[in-house]
Amino acid sequence: MKIRYYADADIQEWHDHTLRLLRTVHNNHDILVEIVQIDEQYGPITNFPGEVRSSTPEDVYERDFKQNRDLAANISRPPSKVYKFEGDIDIAGHVAVVTDDVQWASTLQGDAYGHGTGAKDKTPIDFLADVSESPSNRICIECAHLLDGDETFCPACGFEPQ
Ligand SMILES: [Zn+2]
């Protein structure tokens, strides 16, 4: 399992905060992190503890999002309704949980501030903050099953988080 950031976020503060949290997630929990840079706005990303590569929004949408049933089930909506807006692909700024394929991705940008109630579970920054504190707040590090933090073991694979 790894956590992938589709960079760069629209707002530099979100971008910088996302990079800081990804480093913390990696350093504190030994979780693989990577970046697919699809909209470079703030220059090259250096000193990152994972792979950084470039792609285009179109390739990422076709490969990772478009026909992805696991993602659709985990975000409870068709990806085409979330990551395309008026025909434009809107993926930069999001983070995803990846196994062989994208299992979950944030559906709102930035952090919960300004999005209203219920947004915290859907934003990249809140997700990474929860995972950096304790991965089992949000995901099973063994099988990438989504958790809500109350479980004493993962209902999918039985793993007991410490
Ligand atoms: Zn599990």
Distance 161 CA to ligand 1 centre (A): 9
- pLDDT tens-digit series, residues 108-125: 999 999 999 999 999 999
Distance 154 CA to ligand 1 centre (A): 5
Distance 78 CA to ligand 1 centre (A): 24
Domain locations along the chain: 2-137
- pLDDT band with cut points at 50, 70 and 90 for residue 4: very high
> Which pTM does this prediction carry?
0.96
Distance 139 CA to ligand 1 centre (A): 8
**How many C-beta neighbours within 10 Å does residue 60 have?**
22
Rounded Cα–Cα distance for residues 52 and 57 (Å): 15
Confidence at residue 104, expressed as pLDDT on a 0 to 100 scale: 98
- pLDDT tens-digit series, residues 38-64: 999 999 999 999 999 999 999 999 999
Is the pLDDT at 161 greater than 90, yes or no? no
Confidence at residue 85, expressed as pLDDT on a 0 to 100 scale: 87
